Amino acid sequence: MATSSERKSVGYELIGSYTRYSSWTARVVTLLEYYQISYNAKIYTLAEIKAKKPTQSGLVPALISPSLPPDTEINDSLAICEYLAESHPQLPLWPKDVYLRALACSATAEMHAGFTAIRDMYHSNFIGKYTGDIPMSDAVRREVERILRLWGEVRGKTRESLKVLGQRDEGFFFGEFGIVDSFYWPVLWRFRTYNCPLDTATPEALAWMQKMWNDEKLKLQIADYFKQFENPETQIEGYEDIFKGNPDVEYGRFTRDWVFEVPS
């Protein structure tokens, strides 16, 4: 997490919540950290956000930009990422190709506005680990299958398009790490946390998952999640052991040395 003491030149100010739980704040932080975009973070617990309302809307994340009037707050993770893409056109936050950019915008919007069954049933919790007979509604199962299908389709279309364009493909959704990857990064946690079935995942989808889990810059984010875990003030009780009392489900925690293995 960037702080004013860690970086000499602080540009943006980000107001958010702890990223080991907050998928909304994590989307923005992941993008900022991946490309080392200068920012200062003001991070609050869920209780503090409810009590202090640190933003004009009372919601997080929010971004304050030095190039905008000081009373301007950019609300919502998608609006923030859009603003960052416009402000840093040299970075591959959106694909440059019109066709791939259309696919990227569509995939991001589907994540931003959809998959409500997964959100409602499975709280975001990077450290948490559920094993056993984990409850999964039909609606959640359909969304898991849709997400896996989308990941595979996006990677397949990107690979073919970049080949025709003669551009480098690093294995992220649209070649280089961008907004779409940052938006689906917290979804990838949920799949791990709740041991979601990957039996319908295509080789392309699994390759993207492996790419994300093995990326060195994202491993730095993972290290920060575990650092947050060491501070008990960051814990959100309502996001821990959500199936407590169900004898068929065991709750534990992942360790730092966990490695993603592609199902055989």
Question: Tokens 């019109």, residue?
Answer: 98
Whole-number pLDDT of residue 264: 80
Interhelix angle for 179-193 vs 138-165, to 10°? 140
User: What are 205's two structure tokens?
Assistant: 């989808």
Task: Show me where the domains of the chain are located.
Answer: 12-87, 98-253
pTM above 0.85, yes or no: yes
**Are 213 and 192 a contacting pair, CB within 8 Å?**
no
Flag whether pLDDT at 210 surpasses 70: yes
Flag whether pLDDT at 40 surpasses 80: yes
**Are 30 and 221 a contacting pair, CB within 8 Å?**
yes
User: What are 196's two structure tokens?
Assistant: 């979601």
Q: What would the pLDDT profile of 105-155 be if each residue is shown by its tens digit? A: 999 999 999 999 999 999 999 999 999 999 999 999 999 999 999 999 999
DSSP secondary structure letters along 69-110: -TT--EESHHHHHHHHHHH-TTS-SS-SSHHHHHHHHHHHHH
Integer Cα distance of 153 and 201 in angstroms: 10
**What CATH number has the domain spanning 12-87?**
3.40.30.10
